Amino acid sequence: MQTTIEQRATSVPYLLTAGLSGTLFGAGLYISQMVDPLKVLRFLDFGAIPVGGWDPSLAFVIVAAIGIMLLINLWTKSWAAPLFDTEFHLPKFKQLDAPLILGAVLFGIGWGMSGICPGPAITLVAFMPENLMIFLGMMFVGSYAGTYVQHWLSTKELAHGHEGS
């Protein structure tokens, strides 16, 4: 029987998986204290390494998370589909392009200014620090504005690509 993505993505097991995954993610961000912008900034503060003020904790977060996903990727490599959908959703982009690089630079500036990346930005709602809604609201605006910038960049890139070929 054919189902649509809307049907599959609203099935009970699908939504339970999303809920359980979000639960683990949010709890993990609190336990690792990635929800503390100051701790993240102290991790990014490589200038403090020579004077002994650097906090390397968050490297352990990344290593543990990547380690588990490495094993999972090896395990599921030969799977045709996940349990509750008919396909794995991988990004369709494969090439290095200007949007990837420009986006990473802009994100890096924002992350370095605030110590907040999108996961902690969401989870911090649980603790409601002052001015969080300003950050979240602007993150939302930036994300939607990005759709148009992305579109504009990709049409430019296509035109450029035709010239080159």
Residues 77-136 that bind another protein (CB under 8 A): 81-85, 87-91, 93-96, 99-119, 121-127, 129-132, 134-136
- Between 109 and 161, name the residue whose CB sits nearer to another protein: 109
How many residues contact another protein, by CB under 8 A? 122
Q: Which of 1, 12, 78, 144 binds another protein (CB under 8 A)?
A: 144
What is the distance between the alpha carbons of residues 151 and 156, in angstroms, rounded to a whole number?
9
Helices (H), 45-97: 57-76
Nearer to another protein, 72 or 161 (CB): 72
Binding mask of the shown chain, residues 45 to 84, with x at each position contacting another protein by CB under 8 A: xxxx---xxxxxxxxxxxxxxxxxxx-xx--x----xxxx
Q: Nearest to residue 35, comparing CAs of 26, 43, 44?
A: 26
- Which distant-in-sequence residues (6+ apart) come within 8 Å of 14 by Cβ? 8, 84, 85
